[in-house]
Structure 1
Amino acid sequence: MAHSTIIQLLGNQSDYLLNHVSKTVEKSMIHPTGPDVIERLWIDSDRNIPTLNNLQRLFGHGRLANTGYLSILPVDQGIEHTAGASFAPNPIYFDPENIVKLALEADCNAVASTFGVLASVARKYAHKIPFVVKMNHNELLTYPNSYNQIPFGTVKEAWNLGAAAIGATIYFGSEESRRQIVEVAEAFEYAHELGMGTILWCYLRNNAFKKDGVDYHSAADLTGQADHIGVTIKADIIKQKLPTNNGGFPAIGFGKTNPGMYDQLSSQHPIDLCRYQVINGYMGRIGLINSGGESRGESDLAEAVYTAVVNKRAGGIGLIAGRKAFQKPMKDGVELIHAIQDVYLDKGITLA
């Protein structure tokens, strides 16, 4: 995708996003990603050699290989959102092989999915594209449903099917979040012992996070703290929703805040809101990938490019987009993922 096409898709927000200069946390303070990300940011950590090898596998595969950026296809929605609701727009994805084929056709760095999906085709594909096994889920057949992620398998099972990394979700703010923190921390430590990378879906879930008609589940201050807890339990990569607002702590009336969180470390600009997430990942030492969000139809391409530009200019390391890609014909899904990748390949789009 030419730079002009990116500008066209951004529309009247192109100047607002592409020419923004962040005056909150300056870019010189951020640890930027790049081709040498493993040597520069990970070599001094406690991660063992097999883990570093698998992190390099993730960063060294696909169309974004050796750029320091990641494009991951996640398809765990068959559990998280029910299979029927997720795959009705495109039933070919009931077949796990098509999930992996989409990731390969789109030249992604990795494919992230459930134990069952990846195990069913592991011998054919585990050596062709890095696997990320999503270990826990919130199944929707318990009624009434609760915000509870439970393990669907073991770290050893993920290792046995050839995974380069494991993924897990914690619903921060939910009644079960403390148990989930302990479970995931233990799983991540064992994954590192076996030589796998770790990716944490740092999501918020609490009905009280909606106040006076405003939803703060994607507030920069709340998601930033979730990210900070996530890197504390040694996630190698953080997955987070793009922030859409700020001020969740004072609006809801809990937690501890400082005025500088809002008038010095952030602003209302979307890139500055996302940068607040980045700095909570140890100033970018632990990479931030934002989620692509649900499919909305014709606006998907523009929304995906918008999210990629914000993430990249904030100091993030990529996008993990699922429904916007697999709920379309495969050709269109590949086109959308390539559009995202084009943003990260465009050397004219730099840190704000």
Structure 2
Amino acid sequence: MNISTDKIKELLGGDADSLLNHVSKTIDKSQLHMPGADFIDRIFVQTNRNSQVLNSMASLFNHGRLAGTGYLSILPVDQGIEHSAGSAFAPNPIYFDPDNIVKLALEGGCNAVASTLGVLATVSRKYAHKIPFVAKMNHNELLTYPNKHDQILFGSADEAWNLGAVAVGATIYFGSEGSNRQIIEIAQLFERAHELGMATILWCYTRNSEFKKDGVNYETAADLTGQANHLGVTIQADIIKQKMPTNNGGFTKIGFGKSDPDMYDKLSSEHPIDLCRYQVANCYMGRIGLINSGGSSSGGKDLEEAVKTAVINKRAGGMGLIMGRKAFQRPMKEGVNLLNHVQEVYLNKEIDSA
């Protein structure tokens, strides 16, 4: 597949000019550590990560259609627990079978597949040597009533290593009642994963019913998610996964935490690329890569939404997308096509940082 810039413009529709020609006047791109083929040598060789972690990082960066670019396209399928298997797989029941999850990642040219211990363990001997595994270690199991904002560990770093994973993934619900425990648990998990030579990916989500005010959900505000990112890199996540910011000013609107007017007036703006760049800045100015999530499937507009998200992430200085439901909640051929379109944004040299 080779998608032209004109085709990308067509998919962006009325947003094409705003997204492709935006020049950021907030945090200049010269201050960022941008993704690239030399990212591990340029950034991670300077860190405390051991040689086996660097080897694991290299396996992530050098697989699939984006191999050697410094960008990542990861298929995440942990929704069988996070959203209930029935609700996640009802649109396409073949993904109850772990084999098809890995097949989609392989045929879609992804750098890696991220899924639960159970999914990856079931097919590990068949696929662990064919595509990098990211073992997602904790989940909000959703069967407790009433539902609560909590993530609990389903296994250990040693189990992930034994099934052939090159990385572990975990979620922290920053701002939730259980966040203190989650921070401690995942810091310890990441420490052990690094000892074993695996990379670490943190789903940095904010969760608190009080983060919603006057009909606006500030769980995806740039200031709140940016700070979640900053907490995530503090416990030595090698890659941060974050939702695309949809607004800003959560600290001031809700009336908690600490903020500075420059956060909103100088370090960001209302433009989606500038909002996302603030997230990148909180990942040590890009020394730790930011991958944004693809969000839920809305049906007919999924392809356009996926391409738009990729353009925003790339031009903000991000490292790629981790996109699941938009890909697996449709026939496999269509899922592969959607993943390939996203990858084409990162392969397109005419689309650069804003």
- What band does the TM-score fall into relative to the shorter chain? over 0.9
Shift of 1:328: 0.3
**Counterpart residue number, 2:190:** 188
* Partner Cα separation in structure 2 for residue 214 and residue 98 of structure 1: 38
Cα deviations by residue, 1:34-72 (Å, 9 ceiling, x for unpaired)? 000100010010000000000000000000001000000
**Counterpart residue number, 1:85:** 87
* Partner Cα separation in structure 2 for residue 167 and residue 29 of structure 1: 28
**Counterpart residue number, 1:166:** 168
**Counterpart residue number, 1:10:** 12
Structure 1 counterpart of 2:333, which letter? Answer: K
RMSD of Structure 2 on Structure 1 (CA):
0.4
Helix, strand or coil at the partner of 1:200 = strand
**Counterpart residue number, 1:198:** 200
- Equivalent residue for 1:276, pick from 266, 272, 278: 278
* Partner Cα separation in structure 2 for residue 142 and residue 220 of structure 1: 30
Task: Please list every run of at least 4 consecutive aligned residues from structure 1 whose deviation after the TM superposition is greater than 6 angstroms.
Answer: none
Helix, strand or coil at the partner of 2:219 = coil
TM-score, structure 2 as length reference: 0.99
* Partner Cα separation in structure 1 for residue 127 and residue 259 of structure 2: 47
* Partner Cα separation in structure 2 for residue 146 and residue 215 of structure 1: 17
* Partner Cα separation in structure 2 for residue 300 and residue 184 of structure 1: 32
- Equivalent residue for 2:40, pick from 38, 41, 44: 38
Shift of 1:335: 0.3
Structure 2 counterpart of 1:148, which letter? Answer: D
Q: Map 1:98-109 to 2 at 5 A.
A: 98-109=100-111
**Counterpart residue number, 1:210:** 212
* Partner Cα separation in structure 2 for residue 121 and residue 245 of structure 1: 40
1:347 to 2:349 alignment: yes
Structure 1 counterpart of 2:42, which letter? Answer: R
* Partner Cα separation in structure 1 for residue 174 and residue 353 of structure 2: 29
**Counterpart residue number, 1:119:** 121
Cα deviations by residue, 1:63-121 (Å, 9 ceiling, x for unpaired)? 00010000000000000000000000000000000000000000100000000000000
**Counterpart residue number, 1:258:** 260
**Counterpart residue number, 1:288:** 290
**Counterpart residue number, 1:60:** 62
1:302 to 2:304 alignment: yes
Helix, strand or coil at the partner of 1:202 = strand
Helix, strand or coil at the partner of 1:217 = helix
Cα deviations by residue, 1:125-175 (Å, 9 ceiling, x for unpaired)? 000000000000000111111000000001100000000000000001100
Shift of 1:2: 1.2
**Counterpart residue number, 2:50:** 48
**Counterpart residue number, 1:312:** 314
Structure 1 counterpart of 2:348, which letter? Answer: D
**Counterpart residue number, 2:330:** 328
* Partner Cα separation in structure 2 for residue 143 and residue 13 of structure 1: 42
* Partner Cα separation in structure 2 for residue 140 and residue 212 of structure 1: 27
Cα deviations by residue, 1:306-335 (Å, 9 ceiling, x for unpaired)? 000000000000000000000000000000
Helix, strand or coil at the partner of 2:86 = helix
**Counterpart residue number, 1:75:** 77
Helix, strand or coil at the partner of 1:43 = helix
Question: Which structure 2 residue ranges, 5 or more long, are not aligned?
Answer: none
TM-score, structure 1 as length reference: 1.00
Q: Kindly, what percent of the aligned residue pairs are identical? A: 71
- Equivalent residue for 1:150, pick from 125, 149, 152: 152
Structure 2 counterpart of 1:245, which letter? Answer: N
* Partner Cα separation in structure 2 for residue 176 and residue 15 of structure 1: 43
Shift of 1:189: 0.6
Question: Which structure 1 residue ranges, 5 or more long, are not aligned?
Answer: none
Structure 1 counterpart of 2:278, which letter? Answer: Y
